[in-house]
Structure 1
Amino acid sequence: MDEQMNYGSDYKSIPATSIRSGVGIEVLPDLYSYTIQIVNIHLVGNPDTNEFVLIDAGMPNSAEEIISVVESRFGKNSRPQAIILTHGHFDHVGAVIELVKHWKVAVYAHELEMPYLRGKKRYPEPDSTVEGGMVAKMSPMFPIDPINLGSNVKPLPADGSVPNMPGFKWVHTPGHSPGHVSLFRENDRALIVGDAFVTVKQEYLYEVLTQKLEISGPPRYLTTDWKAAKESVITLSTLKPTVAVTGHGQPLSGELLTESLHKLVENFEEIAKPDYGKYVN
């Protein structure tokens, strides 16, 4: 493994949490969602087989917690077959270097995320002026420098398959980031959304703390292309998912998911797109 990995110079812990931090839920027999502070990681795989994949890598300095969660579900010294990143924002890659070193596993992400994961390009500045609450105002403190995973990160296969996740396909869902992906399984219509849409108003501190369930668009302060973000939500809606786990907020399923996603598509400008902000229009 390439050991010349590093986080950006602005890498740091973020003092934000929620009442669901440390809570895990088995959404399906082979889909487990766990909250670290304000973001979710997902484990895909049946605990009986010990073959599984980790989706996203949590907040900065959360490696020990993630390893503990993995070993609680899959057994001591268990390791995922791969780490799949929905995108490279700080709260989805926060422990990835420690995890790669500990498990010696490959990381996969969309080709368009490679500059942010190989030390080449930093993300755009967070928008603290965007319509929203205290989390949006705090966003300038969030790390945006690229991390460098070197040869440990590989592009997702061009045929849409997801390594070590049979039955799943990746779906390009840009807007929140250029190479953002969601993961969909046709046979049971399970959807791993990432941040293409979320189920909590991520810009507002009270909603984040309490994890009030409410479908919303991607977190506004880091979303730079609202036209693409809307198209991505429409794309996911056409898949007609029956269960969805998101990067932020609680899982949704059944009729509530169907109705909520339809509402988001029909009212994207009112629900998701901010009235003002430097990346609006």
Structure 2
Amino acid sequence: MSDQIPLDPHDRVRDPAPRDHTREVAEDLAYRRLGIVNVAFHGRAGAGDRDWVLVDAGVSGTMGMITEAAAERFGPDARPAAIVLTHGHFDHVGALEDLVALWDVPVYAHALEMPYLDGSASYPLPDPGVGGLMARLSPLYPRSPVNVARHLQRLPEDGSVPGMPGWRWIHTPGHCPGHVSLWREEDRTIIAGDAFVTTNQESAYAVAVQKPEMHGPPQYLTTDWQASAASVETLARLEPEVAVTGHGPAMRGAEMRGALHTLARDFAQVAVPEGGRYVGDPAQAEDGSAYRSD
């Protein structure tokens, strides 16, 4: 699919002194791009041991880059208080098992993501027919679950986020059943995971250059388009000032908000692929039960 909703490159969140590609969004929030995906670090620079949180865990082979970035921001050997997952797709949990073993840290996720994090279920098949090189490669992407059952915990039912005071989690299914986004009302900052992204993740070129555009969730792994549309509407109503997404540069400001509203309004036309495995037919879990929780 061609560009969805172009974003002005000047609306990127810019850190005047990035630490080796780690970009600071607020005094207590930074993110780092690891190949095709971003991870986020919550906590002030120099916070120290057990006083920060990692959001998502990158692709396989990036543990060293994550620990290096953590050491640079929080101090040598500083371990997180928790790892919080927006969801369990391969590009968000690739280094998770190694990081858990290294840090002995609890992992928090939505209850509906538990089967994909405790070794008991694999995600539905990807959808290479949606178009784009990254989609054509999707049958090669890891689909088997990771297993961090001994450290795995459900996100609190009250909506709070462990280790992140002032934040709450919002269930934003569609891309996968237990996808969550993280929201802080005080400064209207959102960590959106893959509920929406800010580059065309189907295009290898856009991924390489991080061309900014407001884009629906990566199409090749999205399995319930109706739920995804509702999730984007939910996030647009929050009127975020800053958005950190799983793919693409962090963005801020009125034009970003306007693009998000346009995405929500025109989702069926601009985000849903013309053809594909799950268009009009949401995936089922491996046990045959409904993949989406109403």
Q: Percent identity?
A: 51
Match of 1:74 in 2: 74
Q: Distance in 2 between matches of 1:152 and 1:61?
A: 21
State whether structure 2 residue 243 is matched by structure 1 residue 240: no
CA deviation profile, 1:63-105 (whole Å, cap 9, x unmatched): 1110000001111111111000000000000001111111111
Q: What 5-or-longer segments of structure 2 have no aligned partner? A: 1-19, 281-294
Matches within 5 A, 1:94-243: 94-130=94-130, 132-243=131-242
Q: Distance in 2 between matches of 1:135 and 1:141?
A: 10
Instruction: Measure how far apart 1:153 and its partner are.
Output: 0.9
Match of 2:278 in 1: 279
Match of 1:87 in 2: 87
Q: Distance in 1 between matches of 2:76 and 2:223?
A: 41
Instruction: Measure how far apart 1:269 and its partner are.
Output: 1.6
What is the SS of the residue equivalent to 2:93? coil
Q: Distance in 2 between matches of 1:81 and 1:119?
A: 23
CA deviation profile, 1:102-155 (whole Å, cap 9, x unmatched): 11110000000000101111000111112x211000000001111111121111
Write the letter of the residue equivalent to 2:268. Answer: E
Write the letter of the residue equivalent to 2:84. Answer: I
Q: 4+ residue stretches of structure 1 with deviation over 6 A?
A: none
Write the letter of the residue equivalent to 1:224. Answer: T
What is the SS of the residue equivalent to 1:42? strand
CA deviation profile, 1:201-256 (whole Å, cap 9, x unmatched): 10111111111000100000000000000000000011111101000000111112
Instruction: Measure how far apart 1:48 and its partner are.
Output: 4.0
CA contact (8 A) 2:46 2:75 kept: no
Instruction: Measure how far apart 1:23 and its partner are.
Output: 2.3
Instruction: Measure how far apart 1:271 and its partner are.
Output: 1.8
Write the letter of the residue equivalent to 2:39. Answer: I
CA deviation profile, 1:26-47 (whole Å, cap 9, x unmatched): 1111110100001000001111
Match of 1:44 in 2: 42
Number of corresponding residues: 259
Write the letter of the residue equivalent to 1:56. Answer: D
Q: Distance in 2 between matches of 1:197 and 1:176?
A: 9
- Stretch deviating more after TM superposition (260-269 or 51-60): 260-269
Match of 2:28 in 1: 30
Q: Distance in 2 between matches of 1:24 and 1:217?
A: 24
Write the letter of the residue equivalent to 1:194. Answer: G
Q: What 5-or-longer segments of structure 1 have no aligned partner? A: 1-21
Match of 1:53 in 2: 53
What is the SS of the residue equivalent to 1:193? strand
Write the letter of the residue equivalent to 2:177. Answer: P
Write the letter of the residue equivalent to 1:226. Answer: W
Report the RMSD for the aligned CA atoms in angstroms. Answer: 0.9
The 1:163/1:65 distance shift into structure 2, 3 A limit, reads same
Q: Distance in 1 between matches of 2:143 and 2:157?
A: 27
Q: Distance in 1 between matches of 2:271 and 2:29?
A: 27
TM-score (normalised: structure 2): 0.87
